[in-house]
Amino acid sequence: MTVRRVVVDHVVLVVADLEASRRFYQAALAPLGIEELNAEHGGVAFGAEGMDDFAIVAGRRLTTGAHVAFDAPSREAVDAFYAAALARGGRHRGAPGVWVQYSQRYYAAFVWDPDGNNVEAVFHSLEPLADVAPVRQPQDALDL
């Protein structure tokens, strides 16, 4: 297994409707083992194992067009992320599958959050994923 160095300590997105975004992220991140840790100071922090790596806050200058990719523990978690995100107000951006333009080991799904940010769940397999049909998105579908 590859050990990766943490290069970004945390990410905060400014959202239009804190409660709608809270419900969206609670549902979408739960399959990835990321939970709500606290709701303070006009925002909500999410993380795993007590690490508040991701937060949303209410504000006037919205974050739109950002891309955030969350690590997933399995392909099934990516699938569950995608289904939960769509059920809670996310919009389809890229279906779960092997995104061969990145790697034969890159299993991911993409959604637009309620504010238009590109949110991804990705599972990095140790071996090529030959049992899954590759996702071949047109290049413009990948643009931010």
Q: Tell me the pLDDT of the chain averaged across its residues.
A: 91
Per-residue exposure over 13-28, b if at least 16 CB sit within 10 Å of its own CB, e if not: bbbeebeebbebbbbb
Whether 139 shows a pLDDT value over 90: the answer reads no
Between CA 3 and CA 49 the distance in angstroms is 18
For residue 138, give the CATH number of its domain.
Answer: 3.10.180.10
Q: Is residue 4 part of a domain?
A: no
Summarize pLDDT for 88-137 with one digit per residue, the tens: 999 999 999 999 999 999 999 999 999 999 999 999 999 999 887 777 66
Q: Looking at the domain assignment, is residue 39 inside a domain? A: yes
pTM: 0.90
142 versus 121: the higher-pLDDT residue is 121
- The H-assigned helical ranges of the chain are 18-29, 75-87, 139-142
Q: Is residue 97 part of a domain?
A: yes
Query: For residue 58, what are the β-bridge partners?
Result: 15
| pLDDT reported for residue 65 | 94
Interval 6-10 mean pLDDT: 88
Structural domain span for residue 129 = 11-142
pLDDT of amino acid 49: 80
Rounded Cα distance between 1 and 43, Å, is 35
DSSP letter for 65, please: S
Indicate the number of domains in the chain. 1
pLDDT at 7: 86
Q: How many CB atoms lie within 10 A of CB 6?
A: 8
* Residue 95 located in a structural domain: yes
At residue 137, the pLDDT reads: 62
